[in-house]
Copies of this chain bind each other. A is one copy, B any other.
């Protein structure tokens, strides 16, 4: 559990950095405040939405200062080393995937502990992983990534589903955690490498075009 807590805080740090950098691509004014704010929202958004929907008070970062410290460290790191971080984008993106996978599975675990139905546990797990980015993109007036890169949210949904199934089959909890996290990471890496996507749906008749 202590290992998972460490990984959780490391995930918060990495999410803050990648969140702050994502904002820096945009056309608008970018200063210390917006680095802090976009990093903060990206890091805590998903878990906060999950906790509010579960009624799991107090919301985690409000009670526990460690998360805010991890975010401050992430912001400081971004401000000091931003030119180097951008060159290491590929490495950062790997860490981001790892952090997201952990957030998803932790989110499913917490939801199950609150006795929700299993479909809701899967959805709340996915939201834990991706809603920080969704809120950030929405505030920045961008269409969230989940509507642009279709295999961004799907690995989270499937990995959350895998955890729920193995949990029902009474697979040992830590093994299940590891397998589900690995599944999400590998799925995303392969999807990115081989450009997997769902077929685009046709909603209009061909004659319309």
A→B interface (CB under 8 Å): 21, 24-25, 28-35, 37, 40, 48, 52-55, 57-59, 61-65, 68-69, 79, 82-83, 86, 114, 116-120, 123-124, 134, 138-144, 146-148, 150, 153-154, 157, 197-201, 203-205
Contact = CB atoms under 8 A, between A and B. Distances in A.
Given A63-B117, A86-B203, 18 more contacts: A24-B201, A29-B147, A29-B150, A31-B198, A33-B154, A34-B146, A34-B147, A37-B153, A48-B53, A54-B62, A55-B57, A58-B114, A63-B120, A79-B201, A86-B204, A139-B144, A139-B147, A141-B142
Given A61-B120, A116-B63, A117-B65, A34 B144 contact: no
A54 B51 CA distance: 11
A108 to B, nearest CB: 13
A159 B114 CA distance: 36
B120 A33 contact: no
A65 B119 contact: yes
Top 7 closest A-B pairs, CB basis? A55-B57, A31-B198, A24-B203, A68-B119, A65-B117, A62-B120, A141-B143
A199 B48 CA distance: 31
B55 A58 contact: yes
B142 A200 contact: no
